[in-house]
């Protein structure tokens, strides 16, 4: 009997011990889960900090570009206004259009770099996001006695998230610049087709990386620069290559690195090629045929934008009306029939989303295209499409963009 009691007691003790161990394991598991969540939050914040540090570094270069472009436009416009010669006016108009295209790209690139989330992948020429980065950073490179050489070959298109790939290329060129400070040097940026991949190579003439360190360059917080604190340009360098590696890997690609002490380093971004050669695709595009005449309504609180639409579309024989408020737009929809409505996203009075819903209720067959001066939010775009919009135009846009939608 005593043996039986001792056995029961021992069993109870072991059971209690087991329950305690299970409880401790559950507590540990909860702690580990919380720690993991906390680390993930910190990592997301750090990645955003790296991105914003890159934007701050671009500020001086962007200001320089803007001032140059404004000076070019202002100078030629004033000269043409004074001479009043037809050839001077024609030249000034041409220069203003070209300069405004460059300003448009600068603004889009800056907004893209600073945003927290980005859109889906698109098929494009890899030099598009690459050139947007080089155009923003080249002026800074000159200040540091660094020359940029481009060596581009024709390649297939790639399917990428442009915003993320711009971030990768920005990290690559910044890393190359830092490796060549303070003496300066040469950065060669090459693009070529390599089998089923499109390669983008960044070759600097910097100090190089020791062979033992090459395998560690993509580790978070690892840096080959020993004087990070002394140089504000290097803030965030400990994460930039790691972030780039993750982005490229998500795109089904890889980043390789080659280096030799005293001679320099080459980072090679490899991305899967998709479809035909980008250059060939551009050459195949044909001028669109003149579309049939349509009834079009423009809804924007900026009257000059409405007049611009009217002038552009009237040239192709379209019948155009415009409204400066959402309420006026709804009244026009009730009185007349429109094939297409261009609706500004931010309108006084009745919110644009309500105007969109009302238009689709009154005339379900009417196509509604949103227009906006801000970068479109992914969730908002999804909501607009669900409510009946067929898409959106990002200001500033070209007449070809409008024609493509109408056609």
Residue 156 to residue 124: CA distance in whole angstroms: 9
Confidence of residue 270 (pLDDT cuts 50, 70, 90): very high
Instruction: Flag the least confident range among 52-61, 289-298, 338-347, 398-407.
Output: 52-61
**185-215 as b/e: b if 16+ CB within 10 A:** bbbbbbbeeeeebbbbbbbbbbbbbeeeeee
- Is the pLDDT confidence value at 257 over 60? yes
Q: What is the pLDDT of residue 295?
A: 95
- Is the pLDDT confidence value at 358 over 90? yes
Please name the residue ranges forming H helices in 324-407: 326-335, 352-362, 378-386, 399-406
DSSP 8-state secondary structure symbol assigned to residue 234? G
C-beta contacts of 36-44 below 8 A and 24+ residues apart: 43/220
Q: Coil, helix or strand for 137?
A: helix
Give the percent of the chain with pLDDT over 90: 35
Q: What is the pLDDT of residue 232?
A: 37
What average pLDDT does the segment 198-218 reach? 89
Task: Give the residue, 260 or 233, on which the prediction is more confident.
Answer: 260
Residue 281 to residue 138: CA distance in whole angstroms: 29
DSSP 8-state secondary structure symbol assigned to residue 376? P
CB atoms within 10 A of CB 263: 12
What average pLDDT does the segment 115-129 reach? 76
- Is the pLDDT confidence value at 43 over 80? no
Residue 311 to residue 176: CA distance in whole angstroms: 48
Handedness of CA 58, 150, 171, 281 (dihedral sign): positive
**Contacts for 139 with CB less than 8 Å, ≥ 6 apart:** 60, 61, 64, 65
Confidence of residue 259 (pLDDT cuts 50, 70, 90): very high
Q: Coil, helix or strand for 1?
A: coil
Confirm if 226 and 154 have CB atoms less than 8 A apart: no
- Is the pLDDT confidence value at 237 over 60? no
Q: What is the pLDDT of residue 115?
A: 55
Highest mean pLDDT among 36-50, 119-133, 265-279: 119-133
What average pLDDT does the segment 149-163 reach? 92
Instruction: Flag the least confident range among 100-104, 161-165, 341-345, 388-392.
Output: 100-104
Q: What is the largest CA-CA distance in the chain?
A: 121
Confidence of residue 31 (pLDDT cuts 50, 70, 90): low
Q: What is the pLDDT of residue 33?
A: 65
Please name the residue ranges forming H helices in 215-351: 237-250, 278-284, 303-314, 326-335
Closest CA to 269 of 160, 135, 137: 160
Confirm if 243 and 171 have CB atoms less than 8 A apart: yes
Confirm if 203 and 266 have CB atoms less than 8 A apart: yes
- Is the pLDDT confidence value at 280 over 60? no
Highest mean pLDDT among 28-42, 115-129, 157-171, 317-331: 317-331
Q: What is the pLDDT of residue 406?
A: 85
pTM: 0.52
Query: To the nearest whole number, what is the mean pLDDT of the chain?
Result: 79
Structural domains in the chain, CATH included, are 36-117 (1.10.287), 118-283 (3.30.565.10), 295-406 (3.40.50.2300)
């Amino acid at each position: 009997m005593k043996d039986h009691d001792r056995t029961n007691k021992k069993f109870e003790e072991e059971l209690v011990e087991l329950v305690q161990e299970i409880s401790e394991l559950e507590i540990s598991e909860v702690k580990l889960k919380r720690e993991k969540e906390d680390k993930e939050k910190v990592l997301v914040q750090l990645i955003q900090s790296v991105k914003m540090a890159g934007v701050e570094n671009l500020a001086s270069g962007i200001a320089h570009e803007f001032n140059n472009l404004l000076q070019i436009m202002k100078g030629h416009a004033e000269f043409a206004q004074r001479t009043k010669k037809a050839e001077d006016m024609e030249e000034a108009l041409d220069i203003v259009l070209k300069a405004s295209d460059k300003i448009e790209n600068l603004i889009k690139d800056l907004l893209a770099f600073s945003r927290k989330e980005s859109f889906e992948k698109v098929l494009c020429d890899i030099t598009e996001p690459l050139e947007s980065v080089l155009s923003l950073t080249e002026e800074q490179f000159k200040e540091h006695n660094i020359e940029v050489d481009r060596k581009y070959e024709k390649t297939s298109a790639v399917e990428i998230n442009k915003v993320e790939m711009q971030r990768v290329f920005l990290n690559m060129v910044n890393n190359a610049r830092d490796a060549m400070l303070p003496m300066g040097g040469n950065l060669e940026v090459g693009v070529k087709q390599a089998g089923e991949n499109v390669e983008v190579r960044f070759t600097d003439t910097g100090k190089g990386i020791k062979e033992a360190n090459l395998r560690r360059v993509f580790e978070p917080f690892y840096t080959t620069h020993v004087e990070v604190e002394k140089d504000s340009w290097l803030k965030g360098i400990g994460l930039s290559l790691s972030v780039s590696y993750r982005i490229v890997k998500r795109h089904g690609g890889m980043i390789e690195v080659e280096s030799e002490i005293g001679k320099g380093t080459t980072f090679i971004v490899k991305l899967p090629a998709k479809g035909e050669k980008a250059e060939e695709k551009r050459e195949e595009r044909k001028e669109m045929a003149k579309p049939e005449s349509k009834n079009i309504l423009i809804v924007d609180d900026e009257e000059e934008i409405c007049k611009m639409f009217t002038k552009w579309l009237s040239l192709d024989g379209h019948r155009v009306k415009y409204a400066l408020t959402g309420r006026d737009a709804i009244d026009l929809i009730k009185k007349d029939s429109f094939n297409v409505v261009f609706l500004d996203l931010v309108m006084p009075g009745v919110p644009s989303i309500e105007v969109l819903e009302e238009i689709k209720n009154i005339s379900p067959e009417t196509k509604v295209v949103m227009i906006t001066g801000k970068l479109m939010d992914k969730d908002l775009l999804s909501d607009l499409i669900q409510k009946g919009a067929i898409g959106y135009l990002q200001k500033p846009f070209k007449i070809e963009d409008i024609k493509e939608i109408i056609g």
